[in-house]
A and B are shown apart, each in its own frame.
Chain A
Amino acid sequence: DGGITQSPKYLFRKEGQNVTLSCEQNLNHDAMYWYRQDPGQGLRLIYYSQIVNDFQKGDIAEGYSVSREKKESFPLTVTSAQKNPTAFYLCASRRAWGEQFFGPGTRLTVL
């Protein structure tokens, strides 16, 4: 079955560390997205990519970086510059008409 996998499900980071969240899709979708979710804040867009080797900043890109070397993969790195990284991170890909299909999420906690 086609879908999006995110790993790990839970991730713990020490202060000053960079960590990378994985997102893989086998839906053959061109566009992929990363969102951050905090309680009561809804979903906020971090980065998105419409095609391989190209990506754009979203609303809260500071302290994050991405790459898109393969159509199937869109990893997100949370750098030490992100001062408040504890959150639930969701990866998505886009189907037709703007509809997005979501992965199961990664919960990142700073120790």
Chain B
Amino acid sequence: AQSVTQLDSQVPVFEEAPVELRCNYSSSVSVYLFWYVQYPNQGLQLLLKYLSGSTLVKGINGFEAEFNKSQTSFHLRKPSVHISDTAEYFCAVSDTQGGSEKLVFGKGTKLTVNP
């Protein structure tokens, strides 16, 4: 079964600094990959997704992620963060061979942007 590891549970950064949130998944079979953001007491919102094609994926709010098949990673990056980026971020993987019925989520990374 697929599993997703988000290597950092909390990441504090200063405003305008770059940030990378790390995500590794367990299986090298064909997958779809997603990053979601959750603000306090709200649902999850899709930031970006990798389905196929270019390994560099751009999303909303200036975020991007790079799919690395050999390292089974899908790290999220932003070159300059804002206070408003403070939120929890979840990486998720869907197994295409399983018909993409379910998403497997990591445990989340809390990003705190300090002034």
Contact = CB atoms under 8 A, between A and B. Distances in A.
Interface residues of A, number: 26
Interface residues of B, number: 23
Contacts of A94: 100
Interface string A87-105: 0101010100111111111
Given A40-B9, A42-B108, A102 B45 contact: yes
Interface of A: 4, 6, 31, 33, 40-43, 45, 48, 50, 58, 88, 90, 92, 94, 97-105, 107
A94 B100 CA distance: 9
A39 to B, nearest CB: 9
Contacts, number: 57
Nearest to B98: A98
Main DSSP-derived SS at the A contact region: strand
A97 B32 contact: yes
A42 B44 contact: no
B103 A98 contact: yes
B82 interface: no
A4 B43 CA distance: 10
